[in-house]
Amino acid sequence: MINNEAYLLYSALCYERGHCRRTQHILKVYALAKLLGEQERISTEEQQILKAAAILHDIAIKYCKDNYDGDAGQEKQKKEAPHLVNSFLQEANYLPSYIPRILELVVKHHDYDAPKDRTLQILMEADLIINCYENCQSSGKIRCIKDFFQTSSGKKLFDLCVEGIKEREGFS
């Protein structure tokens, strides 16, 4: 079997060993990235790449926390992600031609100011929306985050997220 997405997702969830926040984060970013990719009509190949990157986008956090005295900063994640991503993708029988692209998305998904293509943009938007839901951002931070959105479906869902947060927190 090639590009075994279900196996990849299962492996990533098992790797997290039941960690509540990281497990839920993987599932939410995966689902939202899949939806945004479909809404934005990216190609089938890019959709497969996007979903794999969404599953693995934060895979280095656990490794860094375990091996760097709890420090899972972005630079450490970028350093450790390649060997983890390669291992997970090879185990799930991903096409070797897909692996560099998936790794690129994982490593760059927090590089908001760097040039990005459409698939990376969708991954970033999915992660930002989920992070907002999970971390209740201040209104100033929300305005700053909104500037990163470029896709029409991502913008709409982000606006709905902000409205939901305001309503939940009692803001007008």
**Closest C-alpha to 169, from 140, 133, 144:** 133
pLDDT for residue 170: 65
pLDDT for residue 115: 77
Q: Count how many domains the chain has.
A: 1
Q: Which amino acid is at 168?
A: R
* Residues 6 or more apart whose Cβ sits within 8 Å of residue 170: none
| CATH code, domain with 137 | 1.10.3210.10
pLDDT for residue 169: 67
Longest dimension (CA), the chain: 51
Q: Which residue reads 């098992």 in tokens?
A: 14
3-state secondary structure of 105: helix
Is the Cβ–Cβ distance between 157 and 163 less than 8 Å?
no
What is the chain's length?
Answer: 172
Measure the CA–CA gap between 164 and 142, rounded to whole angstroms: 13
Measure the CA–CA gap between 167 and 171, rounded to whole angstroms: 6
Range of the domain at 133: 5-169
pLDDT for residue 135: 85
Q: How many CA atoms lie within 13 A of 73 on its CB side?
A: 5
Measure the CA–CA gap between 1 and 16, rounded to whole angstroms: 24
* Residues 6 or more apart whose Cβ sits within 8 Å of residue 66: none
pLDDT digits (tens, 9 = 90+) for 30-42: 999 999 999 999 9
Is the pTM higher than 0.85? yes
143-148: list long-range contacts, CB under 8 Å, 24+ apart.
148/112, 148/124
Q: Which residues of the chain have pLDDT under 70?
A: 1, 136-140, 169-172
Tell me, rounded to whole angstroms, the distance of Cα 36 from its chain centroid.
12
**Closest C-alpha to 36, from 116, 132, 149:** 149
